[in-house]
Chain A
């Protein structure tokens, strides 16, 4: 008894510690990347993580609707003004002019170092002649009134060219009333790049709320009550994802808990026994969650959602205990009777889950850990604690028990054969009909398709970079990266001409390398020489002598300027944009070049040819991730194979009867096939998570088969077994069916697989696993 008491005390202490861990040190994570594979390759992991915080992942795309074009333009201007003042964004683009006077002056001073229009021969006599001819043409136009003020200093218009080039390309956006509008003129478009990282969802949520407040203020100031805002872009989608996962978790938890409670009441009709079934579940969930949070610094929302549905599996243990209790029998003895089978069932289920622990997905490892610790605790509590409660109580009626038919033994051999043939046939037929493996990783996102499409449309309209396709350039330092990016420009230009791309953003577009700037400086001739060449170039042109003296001064001054670096741009809006495109890591600097409108990434890789691979990578995130997923899936299938082998060996060791082994393994294998058929017929194609579901089916199905295949003495015992298993199966199927309807693709995959599989396992075990008719003792 003292040992027992000690045991109980130990249990209580563990549970209390678990509770404390949960409440005080467990943040709930909702970042989907925990369920995305991390390649073991260091560079790719690094790059992928940089990408999540990179420039395109911070971009909010906004559409203002609900008024005439003029009204929307005014709202757009007001809104942008607030956004700029808040200092929360590194870019606020709505079509209006961006740069302040100080920055313009800086760019103007450095124009002969920065402009990429200049060639070595720009300062030859022919080059200058061309320049002045061009100026003359401009003077002929009605706009000469305005453009000629700059002409004496800057006859080539480099300042203007630079300013226009630094404005991001605007794709298909129209300018109306001075701001960006969509083609129909029904929405004003804005692009805002946040300063906080794209993965800091709490900060992004705060930003979204602040933007909603600005909208309120704009509504009041303009008096337009019908003004609406649409949020799109990566942060918006991430927040949407997070919200859906959270909602699903709470909904599932409430539903599952409620249904189970109701169900237990229906079955046991006694609050006491309902509590007894609840205890292992609760302790299991608490313990499982605590173990995960200990090992992982927090628990992912999907793990919680999944974990809660383990209720449906863990509930089997107390159900077995309670249904097998004979009238007047102390629970301790019941436990002794069913312990061997229960033990085998628990271990095989745990083996099935353990494959997840070996996975390279942090998310799946969490799931596995949660399940194993939770089920272990539930089983332990059932074994250890519950009998203490049932010691003196009368078991009470199991009202529905009398409706359960007495067992008449195994189904006939003919029926067995038919079943096997039927299922095998169906399986093979389905394999040939439908694609087996799912290839689309984007289908893993819980965000509905139409929201993703809206996002895509806004993105295309604004010419915003696609966050899933990017060029990454690695260099020793910022200048090295800039030089490499510059060397890629000609090839990228060809790619644009061939229609593979619409455009590229890069740090080198904003700021040339020091080397390039110095090169341009070297093209400018010395003052004497310049004066001579200018004279010759102007010889036949009607310009007055001396008009371009300021031009000569500026050029001469440019020769001695110190080249601009990212650091020297600090304080200007350009600096923030540069920061988003040059990401320092511990050993290198990564240049991010977001691709706009990229269409054919493999061909782009080819085009880049030898440059690619030498510190230049074309990164197509969905394709890379899908490839990695496929690798991990195949890996998982292999590991599952080992797990199945282990289970078979274990069974053989326990059961020591090949006939019983077969009786147990056959229905389970068939159930797995049925599950596969169901998933493929639904048109889904299997992914990694379906494989996980199949492992669960194996584990749970074995539990059923083991119980069904027990050699039992009395018909009553057989009826109790059947009854207990019916309840178990129904509870499991209900809970996993709930998962299947959750709206979160990862959970749906597991839910459908397990729901169908368990139902099939139950029916098939009932038909195939029971021992041949045996003489019945009198009841």
Chain B
């Protein structure tokens, strides 16, 4: 957001200079100075968002997910319910046959489809751990952890915000190019994952 402000300011200033409009240039200059201040403000706003997310506490919500995979010729569309129980329990259950349960509990991951069960340990899978942090740390409002794993580009207008996460961990970079989280107020509304091989997924959370 500060980039836009700065661009606006510079363009306005250049334009004003060309037009010879002193007051406008003054105004543009002020805007310019403001734009220098906005990185700080952006940081504060990000922290503010994180605090709001943290105070939102646990969530339980329905979702609809759309997955576009290279090996499939149609997108997968699925629905289910998400639960987040702070500080580090996350459950995702799919509707439909087979169930499809996915649970993260601290450092353990449990995946269950029908009667097959798989248990993993995040400690042994750094890429998965980093990936889990993208939504885990966000829902928790843990800025520090988020920054540990991702470059963050934050933007907000009025009430809506966008978090663009670029993975820092080289293991995760092999799979994921970026993750985009969108929300409103203290609620996460949408999560998009863009992968290296061209696959992408889009999950929308539906709050009643």
Binding site for B on A (CB under 8 A): 96-97, 134, 136-146, 148, 151-152, 175-178, 542-544, 547
Contact = CB atoms under 8 A, between A and B. Distances in A.
B197 to A, nearest CB: 8
A547 B71 contact: yes
Given A145-B176, A542-B72, A137 B100 contact: yes
B100 A141 contact: yes
Name the 5 nearest CB pairs between A and B, nearest first: A178-B123, A137-B113, A547-B71, A542-B72, A542-B74
B111 interface: yes
Contact of B78 (A140, A145, A544, A547): A140
Given A139-B67, A142-B102, A543 B72 contact: yes
Contacts of B107: 175-177
A669 B67 CA distance: 93
B116 A140 contact: no
Interface stretch (B10-18, B25-33, B42-50, B124-132): B124-132
A148 B102 contact: no
A150 to B, nearest CB: 12
Give the interface size class of chain B.
20 to 34
Given A96-B124, A140-B67, A543 B176 contact: no
B113 A138 contact: yes
B35 to A, nearest CB: 37
Given A134-B113, A139-B69, A146 B128 contact: yes
> Which of A139, A140, A178 has the largest count of B CB atoms less than 10 A from its CB?
A140
B140 interface: no
Contacts, number: 71
Interface string B111-145: 10110100001011101100100000000000000
Contacts of B74: 542
Contact of B102 (A141, A175, A543): A141
A145 B71 contact: no
11 contacts: A137-B114, A139-B69, A142-B131, A145-B176, A145-B199, A146-B128, A148-B71, A175-B123, A177-B107, A178-B121, A543-B71
Contacts of A547: 71
A363 B142 CA distance: 69
Interface in B29-60: none
Contacts of A148: 69, 71, 199
B92 A542 contact: no
B193 interface: yes
Contacts of A142: 92, 102, 131
A137 B67 CA distance: 12
A146 B125 CA distance: 10
> Which of A175, A176, A547 has the largest count of B CB atoms less than 10 A from its CB?
A175
Contacts of B94: 140
A143 B111 contact: yes
A544 B72 contact: yes
A146 B98 CA distance: 21
B195 interface: yes
B70 to A, nearest CB: 8
A138 B71 CA distance: 13
B128 A143 contact: yes
A144 B128 CA distance: 11
B76 A134 contact: no
A46 to B, nearest CB: 42
A146 B73 contact: no
B154 interface: no
Interface string B183-201: 0000000000101000100
A143 B113 CA distance: 13
Contacts of B70: 544
A93 B155 CA distance: 48
B121 A544 contact: no
Nearest to B121: A175
A185 to B, nearest CB: 12
B73 A543 contact: yes
B127 A146 contact: yes
Contact of B123 (A143, A146, A151, A177): A177
Nearest to B113: A137
Given A139-B76, A143-B102, A175-B123, A134 B71 contact: no
B36 to A, nearest CB: 39
B208 to A, nearest CB: 23
Nearest to B112: A141
A146 B100 CA distance: 17
Interface in B146-182: 175-176
Interface in B66-100: 67, 69-74, 76, 78, 92, 94, 98, 100
A451 B73 CA distance: 63
A38 to B, nearest CB: 46
Given A137-B100, A152-B71, A543-B73, A145 B193 contact: yes
A175 B121 CA distance: 7
A326 to B, nearest CB: 89
Contacts of B175: 145-146
A487 to B, nearest CB: 27
A543 B70 CA distance: 9
A175 B114 CA distance: 25
Contacts of A152: 71
Nearest to B114: A137
A508 to B, nearest CB: 24
A130 to B, nearest CB: 10
Nearest to B193: A145
Contacts of B111: 141, 143
Given A138-B113, A140-B100, A544-B72, A145 B123 contact: no
A139 B69 CA distance: 9
Contacts of A141: 100, 102, 111, 113
B86 to A, nearest CB: 19
A151 B71 CA distance: 9
Contacts of A145: 131, 175-176, 193, 195, 199
Nearest to B74: A542
Nearest to A541: B72
B78 A542 contact: no
Contacts of A136: 76
Nearest to B132: A142
A61 B169 CA distance: 36
B98 A137 contact: yes
Nearest to A547: B71
Contacts of A146: 125, 127-128, 131, 175
Contacts of B128: 143, 146
A97 B72 contact: no
Contacts of A178: 121, 123-124
Nearest to A151: B71
A137 B111 CA distance: 11
A549 B86 CA distance: 44
Nearest to B127: A146
A471 B79 CA distance: 51
Given A542-B74, A544-B70, 11 more contacts: A96-B124, A134-B113, A137-B114, A139-B69, A141-B100, A143-B102, A145-B199, A148-B71, A175-B107, A177-B107, A547-B71
A137 B199 CA distance: 17
Contacts of A543: 71-73
A137 B113 CA distance: 7
Contact of B73 (A96, A97, A542): A542
A176 B72 CA distance: 37
A547 B71 CA distance: 6
Contacts of A140: 67, 76, 78, 94, 100
Contacts of A544: 70-73
A134 B123 CA distance: 26
A177 B121 CA distance: 8
Contacts of B98: 137
> Which of B71, B116, B123, B199 has the largest count of A CB atoms less than 10 A from its CB?
B71
A145 B176 CA distance: 8
> Which of A144, A146, A178 has the largest count of B CB atoms less than 10 A from its CB?
A146
A142 B103 CA distance: 10
Nearest to A97: B124
A763 to B, nearest CB: 71
